[in-house]
């Protein structure tokens, strides 16, 4: 037996004894969990917003661990290897995986851990498609730094910074300074924007945004539209990254972007937002959305290992 955090229905989780995971397929691995974290998505599950999560499911989709056992078809991982357990599992073979779009894997991959199969908030877990879903961690990278690459950093980087095509000299506005917003601020810096502006409802989070690399911070109550216009000679932002997930926040983003600019939505929504096409149709803007694919995970691990981005995040 082992201890695990088990979802028992909306508003109810227990830390309880459950059976040890077993290999179920030749491409599986069993991993001992050494470090784990939680995600805003776990809170959505706990509220009952994700009905496909069944009672009895072990939660969690982010971990660092050690490979204990591999199935007969696993060729690239040995027992004892320290690995990052990514939030996304990919078969590596379907049409989406072949394009690096692992989040949409057609063979029971994608976001499955702590969702459709048992997850990481346990002493041990089974990982499907181990060769293409686990990432050996370079010696120079600590468990704590690597753990942020299981979900939060690739999500902010791929769905925010890369989808938003952050480019040299851009003004980048990040709406929301929670973990995703902070990771977006940090990774936007890879592309030399001229200024990064953080917007949030809480001063404490804006203080964190400054530590993560924001040049300007604006409270939502302090007229962010006027502040962004003043910082951009009246044009608006080149890139706006939405990192909250409520309708008001998305609609604010559409008022902050310059004509021809880009809005990269990262937020997870429980309610519909209004798209004001009557104002936007002439503005040539691009709006992107996405679930993380984790195609950037090897790059981000290499940046931690080489010291190109400091750790911990
Ligand atoms: Zn997550
Ligand atoms: Zn696939």
What spacing in Å lies between the alpha carbon of 77 and ligand 2's midpoint? 19
Instruction: Tell me the CA–centroid distance for residue 272 and ligand 1, in Å.
Output: 21
CA of 72 to the centre of ligand 1 (A): 30
Cα(133) to ligand 2 centroid in Å equals 10
* Ligand number nearest to the C-alpha of 105: 2
3-state secondary structure of 248: helix
Proximal ligand: closest to the CA of 98: 2
* Ligand 2 geometric centre to CA of 306 (Å): 30
User: How deeply is 137 buried, as exposed, middle or buried, from its count of CB atoms within 10 A (0-12, 13-18, 19+)?
Assistant: buried
Tell me the pTM. Answer: 0.95
Nearest listed ligand to the Cα of residue 153: 1
**pLDDT, one tens digit for every residue, the chain (313 residues):** 999 999 999 999 999 999 999 999 999 999 999 999 999 899 889 988 899 999 999 999 999 999 999 999 999 999 999 999 999 999 999 999 999 999 999 999 999 999 999 999 999 999 999 999 999 999 999 999 999 999 999 999 999 999 999 999 999 999 999 999 999 999 999 999 999 999 999 999 999 999 999 999 999 999 999 999 999 999 999 999 999 999 999 999 999 999 999 999 999 888 899 999 999 999 999 999 999 999 999 999 999 999 888 666 6
Burial (CB < 10 A; 0-12, 13-18, 19+), residue 184, is buried
């Amino acid at each position: 037996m082992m201890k695990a955090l088990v979802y028992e229905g909306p508003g109810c989780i227990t830390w309880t004894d459950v059976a040890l995971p077993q290999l179920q397929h030749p491409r599986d691995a069993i991993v001992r969990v050494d470090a784990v974290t939680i995600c805003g998505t776990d809170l959505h599950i706990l509220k009952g917003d994700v009905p496909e999560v069944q009672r009895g499911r072990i939660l969690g989709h982010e971990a660092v661990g050690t490979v204990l056992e591999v199935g007969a078809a696993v060729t690239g991982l040995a027992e004892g290897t320290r690995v990052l357990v990514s939030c996304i599992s990919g078969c590596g073979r379907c049409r989406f995986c072949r394009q690096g779009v692992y989040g949409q894997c057609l063979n029971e991959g994608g976001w499955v851990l702590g969702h459709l199969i048992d997850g990481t908030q346990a002493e041990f877990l089974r990982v499907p498609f181990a060769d293409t879903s686990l990432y050996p961690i370079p010696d120079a990278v600590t468990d704590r730094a690597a753990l942020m690459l299981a979900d939060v950093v690739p999500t902010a980087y791929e769905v925010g910074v890369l989808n938003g095509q952050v480019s040299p000299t851009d003004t980048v506005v990040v709406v929301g300074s929670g973990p995703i917003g902070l990771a977006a601020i940090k990774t936007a810096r890879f592309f030399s924007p001229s200024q990064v502006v953080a917007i949030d409802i809480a001063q404490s989070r804006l203080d964190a945004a400054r530590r993560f690399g924001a040049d300007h911070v604006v409270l939502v109550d302090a007229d962010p539209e006027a502040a962004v216009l003043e910082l951009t000679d009246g044009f608006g932002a080149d890139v706006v990254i939405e990192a909250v997930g409520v309708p008001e926040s998305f609609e604010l983003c559409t008022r902050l972007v310059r004509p021809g600019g880009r809005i990269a939505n990262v937020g997870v929504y429980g309610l519909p937002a209004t798209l004001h096409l009557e104002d936007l149709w002439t503005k040539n803007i691009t709006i992107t959305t996405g679930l993380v694919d984790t195609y950037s995970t090897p790059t981000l691990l290499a940046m931690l290992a080489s010291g190109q981005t400091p750790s911990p995040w």
